[in-house]
Chain A
Amino acid sequence: MGQIVLKDVTKSFGEVEVIPPLDLTIEDGEFAVFVGPSGCGKSTLLRLIAGLENTSSGQVMIDGSDVTEVSPSKRGLSMVFQTYALYPHMTVRKNIAFPMRMAGLSQEEQDKRIMAAAESLNLVDYLDRKPGQLSGGQRQRVAIGRAIVRDPSAFLFDEPLSNLDAALRVGMRIEITEMHARMKTTMIYVTHDQVEAMTMADKIVVLQSGVIEQVGSPLELYRAPKNLFVAGFIGSPKMNFIEGQEAAKHGAHTIGIRPEHIDVTAKGGTWTGKVGVAEHLGSDTFFHIHETGLAETLTVRAVGDVALRHGDTIHLNPRLEELHRFDEGGARLA
């Protein structure tokens, strides 16, 4: 079991309030991702749940019991750190055994769990090595192994993949998602990478300046972002925002349209412009378009390889049913 509830939680460092009063519920077995730009308070929020930071006010509840004053070691949570935080003086085996040794598990039980974790994480050959002799990806696996063997009520991940190279990151992302599907344990995952958030989460919590901007499933956030911030943050490449006359035509202060919702036509589209940078990826082509009279740059995604180059005139047709409308304060208009 691992339902986590934050009630009216705040956190201040001295005079600076980094988390204004905040309520959040993460259901048992859910994969929740906290996402936001750096400095938005997502890591602080995770550390409050872990108990590594004390709340300034409010309550943290795990499975219905108040743990606000309980030390991290007694909350029954496991954490995987961005820097792995392995014990450099211990072998992989001892690193993984450490939490079990602290909990006083029998040697037999420890060995059984170490082997099970090592097999599922491909670490069997490395058990007697020290962390310094492992690659980044292997170290992260050891950190995950150390987290798994405790059988925690929830896993906390603090940007665990940001120190890995791109290819490894994709692999580990899938491994962690599969691990969640298999174990069905609550997981809270902090990242600044919206692609990780979209691909892994059951529930995404978008944060800015310590405030929850929106909570929802990846597709809810993609389809109906509550405000300009969420609209701009979720989706890659970023949504295009257009203000002024064109927006007024649709009865809004700002309209937003995603790059994948603008079609390139041969002639006479609604909008025209000049191609700036064209990124040819083979499967897709991203055009950065200038001189549209709408916004400084429009980004458009065309499927396949479209043979337009720098300086060419491009004709565009936005799909009006995919248009997002926002008011002056940036909130979504129904």
Chain B
Amino acid sequence: MAIVAQSSKAGRIGRASLAWIVALIFFFPIFWMVLTSFKTDADAVKPEFLIFFQPTLENYLNMTANYDYWRFATNSVITAVFATIFALAVGIPCAYAMAFNPSRATKDVLMWMLSTKMLPAAAVLYPMTFLTKSAGLFDTHFLIIVVLMLINLPIVIWMLFTYFKEIPKEIIEAGQMDGVNTWGEIREILIPLAWGGIASTALLCFIFCWNEAYWTVRLTTTDAATLSKLIEGNRAPEGLFFGRLSAVSTAAVGPIVVLGWFCQKQLVQGLTFGAVK
């Protein structure tokens, strides 16, 4: 009889339960945030575990009336969209060059790019604030777009590089023999072939831009302030209005959760870096 690996029923149930427990642990804070956003501030601070209460839309109505939610949301969309477009515009040619014309330095360059992600952001906080203020860029869309693009560029280039690496070099060479120039190769061959990879890279980059808080909170005041800033601004000094804060947070993460839900497949592909094919 052939020997086949067996997995016991108990083991399978154990693993499934573990997966469910972990999933619930991750899900609970989000669930609680959404729940709290429908409570009055008085209900929200009650110490008991309050699941059944009189729901109210007050927090949401206040939000659009008092804090101009839509302005912050528009800023978030503008900065995330343009930062993603620019990151791709720089990242695609860069990853293309390294994937198809590698030199001895390519690996080092890639590592160096990644190493910039290891720099603690706080280390450059003062120079950044000082420089942007004196250059008159503080609290502008332009600044936030550039900053978001730069902090995501390493991951964008790494992801694109990994996807481009999977395209056989001969196809690019066939293009060269067939008379295309470098831009033609990118436009006619590379982008159509790596479309899935580029889409998941863009999606992930957009999510990272949307969620970024460290710089968007510190380099804006009103004009270019994003949803992260709105949440931060609701951390009122006179005491925490949990209901209000939860509503703002729910409204801030809502769009990205919906986007993520629809693009699950691409996201998983993107996060596994093309490891499964």
Contact = CB atoms under 8 A, between A and B. Distances in A.
B180 A85 contact: no
A73 interface: yes
Nearest to A79: B177
A134 to B, nearest CB: 16
Contact of B178 (A51, A83, A88, A98): A98
B243 to A, nearest CB: 52
Interface residues of B, number: 17
A102 B184 contact: yes
A72 B176 contact: yes
B184 to A, nearest CB: 7
Interface residues of A, number: 24
A71 B176 contact: yes
Interface string A48-81: 0011100000000000000000011110011101
B192 A89 contact: yes
Contacts of A166: none
A222 interface: no
Contacts of B176: 51-52, 71-73
A146 interface: yes
A98 B170 CA distance: 15
A259 B42 CA distance: 101
A29 interface: no
A77 B193 CA distance: 25
Contacts of B263: none
Nearest to A72: B176
A89 to B, nearest CB: 5
A21 interface: no
A167 interface: no
Given A52-B176, A102-B184, A83 B192 contact: no
Contact of B174 (A71, A74, A77, A85): A85
Given A88-B193, A89-B193, A102-B178, 8 more contacts: A79-B174, A82-B170, A83-B168, A87-B171, A87-B175, A102-B180, A146-B178, A150-B178
16 contacts: A52-B177, A71-B176, A72-B173, A72-B176, A77-B177, A81-B174, A86-B174, A87-B171, A87-B175, A88-B171, A98-B178, A99-B177, A99-B178, A99-B179, A102-B178, A102-B180
